[in-house]
Amino acid sequence: MPIFDYSNEESIGSVYSVDTGTVLVSVSNLDALRKLQVNHLIVLRSSRAGQHLIGLINKIMRKALVGVSENEDGEVQDDRVMVENIVRISLIGTLLDAVGTDQNVFRRTLETVPEIDAPCFVLSGEKLTGFMRAISTQIIEGQEPLSLGKYTLDEEANAWIDGNRFFQRHAVVVGSTGSGKSWTVARILEQVAGLPNASALLFDIHGEYAPLIGDGISHLRVAGPGDLDGARTLDDGVIFLPYWLLTYEEMLAMLLDRSDQNAPNQAMIFNREVLNSKRTYLESAGKDEILANFTIDSPVPYALGDVVDRLQELDVEMVAGAKTEKQGPFHGKLTRFVQRLQSKICDRRLGFLFSAGDDAMRYEWLEELATVLLGSTTVRKKGGVKIIDFSEVPSDILPLIIGLVARLVFSVQQWTEKEQRHPVALLCDEAHLYIPEMHETGVLEAGLRSFERIAKEGRKYGVGLTVISQRPAEVNRTVLSQCNNFVAMRLTNAEDQAVIRRLLPDTLGGFTDLLPILDIGEALVVGDAAMLPSRIRIDEPNNRPSSATVAFWDRWAAEAIENGIPAAVEALRKQRTRD
């Protein structure tokens, strides 16, 4: 049965003007006008039978027109005030009564436009429920459903989104702090984890996703200063990212002071010595095939200690002169570089890079790391949703380290045979910290490049990106512009709103006016994965991230508390909270 069996009497008005995606409707019925609300749905009769155009109310206007007429003598006689009620509607799609054997099929295309004077109807009550139901069944047909929550328009209707499109075409989750992003992510991840072959990585900057547990979920942690005794390894979910995984550029971003006049020499010598050291390693390991093709950036273990020794040698080298010995070509030019390198090597906070232990210096180790990062639930025989806790990584090199992980995932995926490629999603919480808009040289830039590539080419290789941020204005535009799905939660800052507005289709401009007035846990969902641009109340996840908003007043009003300060000071010294 067609849902939209409107009779002409139900019409609230008729089409007055038509633009590509916008229609103005003149409403004659005042009672009907009062009931209309911005962002509610409207049905317009299409010029083709069996088709109905669906629109969102964009603006409701009341215009006073002053009518002037002249009498027989040519004098202005009468200023009549006429009132006209105009509703502006953005067209968002078409409902077809039947396509083949399927009934009530919604398409997001506009094959026809309404004719002038075509009648216009309000979509509410049973018809709305029927429409929502038709959309829901259409999305979940032949698919494991991904459910976000309930539509604000119709609390009965479950808001499903298309899980394929959501991850294929990259997504953005934005909202001011405390608006419910992390909970939304938890809600999505729980469902991902329920799939038998899931593969996703969540970058958890504050360790707030620790409470997310379940069969499909495993927790990883980048090693902190307390893990350097080698007691914990990949099997325990502790990740080391040894320096030999870093590219030449990434190493330099961390080590080189570009303002140093000797910087070009330092970079050149470092390059040469690392290459030599990698060659030595490959030779002794008998990797002939790789020897023939490796570059400075190839992830091959090498002895950084030897490189340091060699640099120190060159730094004090004396060579034979005409009469006496003279200073070598790099004498004194490497001192600062070596000092910087040594201080990094000794920094326990960077232990996950420079003190990764013998285990992580094995050639085969990278394979094991890649399996942990990319492996799905059945490959790993552990949760395919992997939450990586970066809370112990020093913030100054966080962008570089997360970029490194993203790059590893992307490159391994790229080199995987097409038939064997298993899609993997990267969810980036607090993305403004490591996918920033500002292009700076150094640590930020090196990491950013990985994400730009994934945003642009990830779709082809089955790497999906979900950018989560409270400051979209500070997130890289190139990356944002590649995202086709938007989950926008309450957003109060005007600059951030403007960014989101620019990313959405023009006709939905008015929809973004809702951003500042959304409730906590409410989102505007627009894009490829959602059939309709809709306002959705996100369901609470089963396990909640530990990101609860602190109740200042209540806590101050409560009585005795335990003094946590001494333990905190000690943890600050040890740089770790766990024992």
Ligand X SMILES: Nc1ncnc2c1ncn2[C@@H]1O[C@H](COP(=O)(O)OP(=O)(O)OP(=O)(O)O)[C@@H](O)[C@H]1O
Which parts of this chain interact with Mg ion (CB under 5 A)? 181-182
Q: Which is nearer to ligand X, 179 or 512 (CB)?
A: 179
Nearest residue (CB) to ligand X, 178 versus 194: 178
Least distance (Å) from ligand X to the CB of residue 209? 10
Nearer to ligand X, 334 or 428 (CB): 428
Binds 470: which of ligand X, Mg ion, none (CB < 5-8 Å by kind) = ligand X
Smallest separation, CB 425 to Mg ion (Å): 17
Cα angle value 475/531/99 (rounded, 5°): 150
* Nearest CB to ligand X, comparing residues 204 and 273: 204
Residues 372 to 411 in contact with ligand X, rule: CB under 6 A: none
CA angle (297 as vertex; 369, 270 as ends), nearest 5: 120
Single-letter code of the amino acid located at 374: L
CB of 549 to Mg ion, least distance (A): 11
User: Cβ closer to ligand X: 268 or 494?
Assistant: 494
Instruction: Decide whether 57 or 500 has the Cβ nearer to Mg ion.
Output: 500
Minimum distance from CB of 519 to Mg ion (Å)? 17
436 vs 462 by CB, closer to Mg ion: 436
Minimum distance from residue 270 beta carbon to ligand X (Å) = 39
Nearer to ligand X, 179 or 485 (CB): 179
Nearer to Mg ion, 182 or 507 (CB): 182
The letter for the amino acid at 107 is: R
Minimal CA–CA distance to 166: which of 391, 459, 377? 459
Binding track, positions 234-273, relative to ligand X; x by CB under 6 A: ----------------------------------------
Residue closer to ligand X by CB (options 223, 468) is 468
In angstroms, what is the minimal distance from the CB of 173 to ligand X? 8
Residue 365 binding target from ligand X, Mg ion, none, CB below 5 to 8 Å by type: none
420 binds ligand X (CB under 6 A): no
CA-to-CA distance for 375 and 368, rounded, in angstroms? 10
- Angle (nearest 5°) at CA 125 between 123 and 131: 60
- Please state the closest distance from residue 205 (CB atom) to Mg ion, in A: 9
Residue pair 532/147 in contact by the 8 Å Cβ criterion:
no
Closest distance between ligand X and the C-beta of residue 174, in Å?
A: 9
Closest residue to ligand X using C-beta atoms = 521
Let me know: does 42 contact 95? Beta carbons within 8 Å.
Answer: no
Distances (CA, A) of 498 to 154, 417, 468, 494, 510: 28, 42, 17, 6, 12
**Judged by CB, which is closer to ligand X: 166, or 183?**
183
Q: Quote the least distance from Cβ 175 to ligand X, whole Å.
A: 5
- Number of residues engaging ligand X in binding (CB under 6 A): 17
Residue 177 touches which of Mg ion, ligand X, none (Cβ within 5-8 Å per kind): ligand X
Sequence-distant (≥ 6) Cβ neighbours of residue 464 within 8 angstroms: 166, 167, 168, 170, 171, 423, 424, 425, 426, 458
Contacts of 88 (CB under 8 A, 6+ apart): 22, 23, 24, 25, 57, 58, 59, 60, 61
Report the nearest approach of ligand X to the CB of residue 178 (Å): 4
H helices within 477-564, ranges in order? 477-481, 494-503, 552-557
Within 501-520, the residues that bind ligand X by CB under 6 A are 520
Q: Which is nearer to Mg ion, 430 or 528 (CB)?
A: 430
Determine whether 128 is exposed, middle or buried from the number of CB atoms within 10 Å of its CB (0-12, 13-18, 19+).
Answer: buried
The one-character DSSP state at 348 is G
Count CA atoms within 13 Å of residue 228 on its CB side: 19
Report what 520 binds from ligand X, Mg ion, none; CB cut-off 5-8 Å by kind. ligand X
- Who's near 309: CB < 8 A, 6+ residues apart? none
Give me the least distance between CB of 490 and ligand X, in Å please. Answer: 9
Query: Of 176 and 182, which CB lies nearer to Mg ion in the complex structure?
Result: 182
- Give the shortest CB-209-to-Mg ion separation in angstroms: 9
Annotate 267-297 with b (16+ C-beta within 10 A) or e (fewer).
bebbeebbbebbeebbeeeeeeeeeeebeee
Determine the residue with CB nearest Mg ion: 182
Q: Phi and psi for 262 in degrees, rounded to 5?
A: -90, 5
Instruction: Please state, in angstroms and rounded to a whole number, the distance separating the CA atoms of residues 354 and 266.
Output: 20
Nearest distance in Å: CB 522, Mg ion:
16
**517 to 556: interface string for ligand X, x by CB under 6 A:** ---xx----------------x-x----x-xxx-------
Q: Rounded to an integer, what distance in angstroms lies between the CA atom of residue 346 and that of residue 354?
A: 8
Is residue 488 within 8 Å of 175, Cβ to Cβ?
A: yes
Spatial separation of the C-alpha atoms in residues 266 and 330, rounded to whole Å:
9
DSSP secondary structure string for all residues of 568-579: HHHHHHHT-S--
Residue 548 touches which member of ligand X, Mg ion, none, C-beta under 5-8 Å by kind? ligand X
Helix, strand and coil content of the chain, in percent to the nearest 5, comes to: 40, 25, 35
- If phi over 0 gives left and psi between -120 and 50 gives alpha, with beta otherwise, what is residue 381? left
- Residue 178 touches which member of Mg ion, ligand X, none, C-beta under 5-8 Å by kind: ligand X
Per-residue mark of binding to ligand X, 159-188 (x: CB under 6 A): ----------------x-xxxxxxx-----
Q: Which residues bind ligand X (CB under 6 A)?
A: 175, 177-183, 470, 520-521, 538, 540, 545, 547-549
